[in-house]
Amino acid sequence: MPPDVSAHGYRIDALINITLVFVTILFVIMCAWMAYSCLRHGRSHRARYDRASRRGIAVVLGFAGAVFFVVDGNLFVTSTLELKRIFWNFADADRAPDTVRIEINAHQWAWDARYAGNDGTFNTPDDVVTLNDIRVPVDAVVLLQLASVDVLHSFYLPNFRVKQDVVPGSINRLRFASRKLGVYEVGCAQHCGANHYKMRGELTVMPPAEFAVWLKEQSDEAVRVHEEALRNGFTPQMIERQWGWSWSENL
């Protein structure tokens, strides 16, 4: 996996690693058991069908049950708790004062991103709209609302260990926080058509001050472009970047 640069990705990695340890231990036990059986029973006697004793069946079921309980049980309990506390805890992210909110519009085959702009309100002419170019300040909690205009896509940030299906007709959410400056891949993790492989974007993690300057400049530019378009006879409905929605508070 690519390096983890998120605040909570280590939780996912820890879960994968501990599962890998369990599976490795089981694999070694199985191999040793099979090797022992082959050596012990090789040609020394003829194979024969054997109905196991009640005790034998109980031992096998007990062992299988214990494996299931420990390996799958750990996966289930840990992931359920962490989804509730962190990854799907959108209420806390929405309440935090410095949360960065972004609307993502997926389509074949690109990611549009929308920021509220200088007025702090979505779906207004000063919104900052980008194509395959998402920028966030380092260390801030980022809350996304994701929509699709055509087919199923999946917003995937491998370096942040988060992934969320984007479903036509509904708005899904995703939260993450970055802890390292850099440029990271945004991928689509659902096969969404012939050019699915091209559906990639960049997530740039910036110093907060630089991010604020960028957002302000882009918002001013958006207003200028909007007014120019109107002067040139475009109606607001004709302007391509007019796909936003009011930030949905109750999802």
Distance CA 165, CA 183 (A): 22
Helices 9-41 and 73-82 cross at an angle (nearest 10°) of 180
Distance CA 202, CA 188 (A): 12
Count of chain residues binding Cu ion (CB under 5 A): 4
> Whole-number minimum distance, CB 48 to Cu ion, in Å?
57
In this chain, which of 188, 203, 205, 206 binds Cu ion, going by CB under 5 A? 188
Is residue 98 within 8 Å of 106, Cβ to Cβ? no
Which of the residues 114 through 173 are near Cu ion (CB under 5 A)?
Answer: 153
- Residue closer to Cu ion by CB (options 138, 167) is 167
Which of the residues 60 through 89 are near Cu ion (CB under 5 A)?
Answer: none
> Whole-number minimum distance, CB 158 to Cu ion, in Å?
15
Which of the residues 34 through 63 are near Cu ion (CB under 5 A)?
Answer: none
Distance CA 124, CA 117 (A): 8
> Using CB under 5 A, which of the segments 15-23, 56-64, 95-103, 198-206 binds Cu ion?
198-206
Distance CA 143, CA 108 (A): 23
Of the candidates 243, 251, 250, 235, the one whose C-alpha atom is nearest the C-alpha of residue 103 is 243
- Look at residue 153 and give its three-state secondary structure: strand
- Residue closer to Cu ion by CB (options 163, 180) is 163
107 binds Cu ion (CB under 5 A): no
Instruction: Please report the sign of the dihedral spanned by the C-alpha atoms of residue 97, residue 122, residue 109, residue 202.
Output: negative
Instruction: Please report the sign of the dihedral spanned by the C-alpha atoms of residue 99, residue 209, residue 176, residue 185.
Output: positive
User: In sequence order, what are the beta bridge partners of 107?
Assistant: 110
102 binds Cu ion (CB under 5 A): no
- Residue closer to Cu ion by CB (options 107, 114) is 107
> Using CB under 5 A, which of the segments 131-139, 187-195, 212-220, 243-251 binds Cu ion?
187-195
> Whole-number minimum distance, CB 77 to Cu ion, in Å?
32
Of the candidates 211, 142, 144, the one whose C-alpha atom is nearest the C-alpha of residue 178 is 142
- Residue closer to Cu ion by CB (options 167, 239) is 167
- Residue closer to Cu ion by CB (options 41, 191) is 191
192 binds Cu ion (CB under 5 A): yes
Which residues of this protein are in contact with Cu ion, per CB under 5 A? 153, 188, 192, 199
